[in-house]
Amino acid sequence: MKKKILFILSLFSGIIISQAQTTGNYNLKAGLVFQKTQYLYFENGIGIDYSSEKLLDQKLHLKFTYLSSRLGSAIETNAIPQDNFLLGADWRFLHTKDLQIMAGINAGYFHASYGNAALDVLPASSVLLSAEAGLVYNFKIPLSATLSAGYNFISGNGVNVPGSLFPVFYKLGIYYTLPM
C-alpha cells in the first residue's frame, strides 16, 4: 500500500512541477482539510490545490487530498482507522471573484485497518469515486476556504466494499497560497 501511495504522490507532484516549469502564472495552495462523513467519522488531513492559466485560464483546479480518521474520530477512541487518498479536478465558476462556486470529481483509494485478525475476512479497501460541489472564498490575504458536500458513488455494503465507506460527506478546507 505504501508503494501505491508514494507512486500516486510522485505522479501528482510530477504533473504540478512540469506545469509550473512551463508557465510562470500558477497558483499552488496547501492546507488542512476536515471531512465529516454523514452518520459516521470525522476524517482530517492535508490537501493541495493547483491551477494555472494553461489549465483553462485557472478555471480547472487539480487536487490531492489525504484524509484519515487517525487524525479525527480514531484519536484515543475505538473508531476504525481508515485512510483516503484522493486525486481530483474541480471546475470553478466565477473564477475571477472572491466567492466562487466549485463542482468536481474525485478518484482514489480507501483503506480501513480493523486491527483484529478475526475481522480480516471483511473487505478493507476500495477504490473511490465521488462528486463534490460547494463554495470557495478567497480572502484578501493568501488564504482561502472551501466548503463542500459530496457523494461517494462506491459506498460500503460490508460484503465487497468496507462497511465504513458511507456515501455522503461534508468537507471544509483551509488553504494557504504558496508564493510563486
Is 57 or 84 the better-scoring residue by pLDDT? 84
Mean pLDDT of the chain, nearest integer: 86
C-alpha–C-alpha distance, residues 31 and 46, integer Å: 6
C-alpha–C-alpha distance, residues 36 and 14, integer Å: 30
For 118-149, the pLDDT digits (tens) are 777 777 889 999 999 999 999 999 999 999 99
For 101-112, the pLDDT digits (tens) are 999 999 999 998
pLDDT at position 18: 56
Give Cβ neighbours of residue 58 (< 8 Å, ≥ 6 apart).
27, 51, 52, 92, 95
pLDDT at position 7: 63
